[in-house]
Amino acid sequence: MLYAALAGTSARLLLAWSGIGASLAWRIEVSTTANSNLELREGLALLRLGISPYIGTSCRTPPLTLWLYGALADHDLLYVLPNTILDLLAASLLYRLASSLLNCPRYRGKSADAFEDAPVDASLRIGSANGRRSALPSALAWAYLLNPFMLAASAGGTTSSLENLALVTTLYGACTAHPVLAVLGLAAATYMSLHAAVMLLPAACLLAYGPEDVVTPLRLLGPCHNGSARISGASGAAVNAALGSCDGGTEDSRGKAATTLPKDGELLNEHQQEQQQEQQQEQQQVKAQHELIKEINREAAGEARDNLSGRAALETRSLPQPSAPLPPPQPRPSFPVLPWRQLLQCTLLAASMLVLLVCASDLYLLSVPTPAAIEVHADADGGSTTMCILGAAKQLLTRPPASTGTAASEVARRLAAAGDWLASCWAVRVYSSQVLLDDATPNVGQWWYLAMEAFDDTKTYIRVMAHSLLFALAPPLAMRLGVRRPLALFLIQLLCLGFLKPYPSVADLGLTVPLLLLLGRQQLAALRLRLLLPASLALLGVLGPAMQRMWLSYESANSNFFYSITLLYGLWQVVLLGQVLGLTLWVDRLARGKERLLDEQLDGRRQGAPTSTTAPDADGAKS
């Protein structure tokens, strides 16, 4: 962690010193309406002149962010220092999170096929008996501090580092069962970007059920049934000794079990053929039994149609006794419900903290002194939310001394006056662009082009679609993954947030991709597009700036060229999201015993490993 911090700090200072950071502040892939360093500097300049930075559209940065970045925002080199500190804090939280998940693995399953609180082999923990430690926490810190997306966002002076720290705080607080810390991070992320409120459901699921087990490798993943375990075809004695009895083995037996777990190369060496023969015999017996039952039912149905008088004979007919017992019927899955209690608590706490953040923002705007040479204007309070709400309430409740006109016109006049008061509020100026999509500046998202090219009659539809898609995905994902896979749900929702929010940047991907390392032992171990995904992302990283330069610098192309690259980037995100979601569902079925192909595939791979090198040559020779 120390070397990662030194390397990340050095890289950020080097980018700022070389002048690359100043040029990155103008890149549309890095700087957007919601996190622009240029708008932050302009707002600070207006605030120092005694002018409200929220008059017009020159600044859409929240007031507390102006206070946090204000001291060093204009410095040529030290402007990167706040983002560096925020990134170091986020990396330390990720390091502690990975260490806690590896030290305290928990098997969370609420179905009949799942098991709870099963002991884990000591070699899977972060510290084993031989003193070696897992590299996952350090890899997580290195991947977050030195990935090019976070380097570009931090060196460009954007406020994405603050938003990412808030999201990491939410994840850390939810995984470690600290609801106040989790809700504080969620409120801060929502304060920076309204669409971060979609992370409320994953945070509530993590607080209610806790993170799932991410320690057990994919080859050892499987449920226990009646004191036995199925782990990739391993021998029953070794596995039972390793994992212990599911109905409650003693600690001594479990402690001895950790030393008897066979290695990877020794699996399926003792009872492999016997187990396969027994499984084949059982399958044949069950199949023959079902065929016999079907034949008897067909004969009974034919006799009933031909001769109704033979009903008595059919009633006395008895089925033969099966040689093997029928498998027990699978219980019907219960309707998934959301953790309503934790959801309500998190909502109330987050709303309270948001109110506190808004009040703190008003105090900051009111505390900024106005220079004596500047004439006091109508917005001298800086667009304080409290003052605007009080002014709007005064317009609605106070009756004029003499009213001229009808009652309807009087109500319309009062509403218009109250609307004018609310329009001068800093919160309306900051968040209206995120809701109305009124800024059509190009970015790596999918909505700027539609907001720019759509007619005025269809812009309302575009706005509704842009917001509803993101929030409509949250409840179904929480119902399916919230109970058994809440940590994977959080990461999947982060992918959806970076893809569907109106003003995304590459910093969203810079946060999500390192977090996927937490799923490296299970989901990512079965990932098939390991070369296609990074190669295609590198290709898009070259084509995007090229198309932008052809459009804006040389004017040899139009906006369609750059938007085609953003569409391909969106397709890349959809492929990544589909891979992670599909593998999460597959791992969940595997852990509950509903997926049995993995054993056969692993057995075939282990058996065919010595001869796999000669198989292609033989096929090629035949062809």
**pLDDT for the residue 267:** 39
**Residue among 438, 423, 434 at smallest CA distance from 379:** 423
Taking the mean position of all CA atoms in its chain, how far away is CA 196? 11
Q: What is the helix (H) or strand (E) element at residue 237, kind and residue range?
A: helix 236-243
Our CA angle for 252, 255, 261, nearest 5°, is: 130
Domain assignment present for residue 393? The answer is no
Domain assignment present for residue 70? The answer is yes
Beta bridge partners of 133: 127
Domain assignment present for residue 394? The answer is no
**pLDDT for the residue 163:** 95
Q: 179 in helix, strand or coil?
A: helix
**pLDDT for the residue 337:** 77
Domain assignment present for residue 41? The answer is yes
Domain assignment present for residue 429? The answer is no
Domain assignment present for residue 483? The answer is yes
d(CA 387, CA 368): 15
d(CA 168, CA 81): 19
Backbone angles phi, psi at 127, to 5 degrees: -120, 115
Overall number of domains in the chain: 1
Residue 164 burial (10 A CB sphere; 0-12, 13-18, 19+): buried
Taking the mean position of all CA atoms in its chain, how far away is CA 368? 38
Residues in the chain where the model's pLDDT stays below 70? 104-133, 222-276, 278, 297, 299-336, 370-382, 399-405, 595-623
d(CA 92, CA 493): 22
**pLDDT for the residue 102:** 85
b/e string for 129-148 if b means 16 or more Cβ within 10 A? Answer: eeeeebebbbbbbbbbbbbe
Q: DSSP readout, 523-572?
A: TGGG-S-TTHHHHHHHHHHHHHHHHHHHHHTS-SS-HHHHHHHHHHHHHH
Residue tagged 């690359």 (tokens): 20
Q: 339 in helix, strand or coil?
A: coil
**Structural tokens at position 210:** 């806790």
Backbone angles phi, psi at 103, to 5 degrees: -80, -35
Backbone angles phi, psi at 31, to 5 degrees: -105, 130
d(CA 179, CA 17): 40
Domain assignment present for residue 526? The answer is yes
**pLDDT for the residue 274:** 62
**Structural tokens at position 180:** 């106040």
Q: Which domain holds residue 487?
A: 2-216+461-603
**pLDDT for the residue 401:** 60
Give the predicted TM-score (pTM) of the model.
Answer: 0.75
Radius of gyration of the chain from Cα atoms?
31
Domain assignment present for residue 354? The answer is no
Q: What is the helix (H) or strand (E) element at residue 181, kind and residue range?
A: helix 179-192
**Residue among 500, 445, 463, 584 at smallest CA distance from 199:** 500
pLDDT digits (tens, 9 = 90+) for 514-556: 899 998 888 888 888 888 999 999 999 999 999 999 998 888 8
Q: Which residues contact 352 (CB under 8 A, 6 or more apart)?
A: none
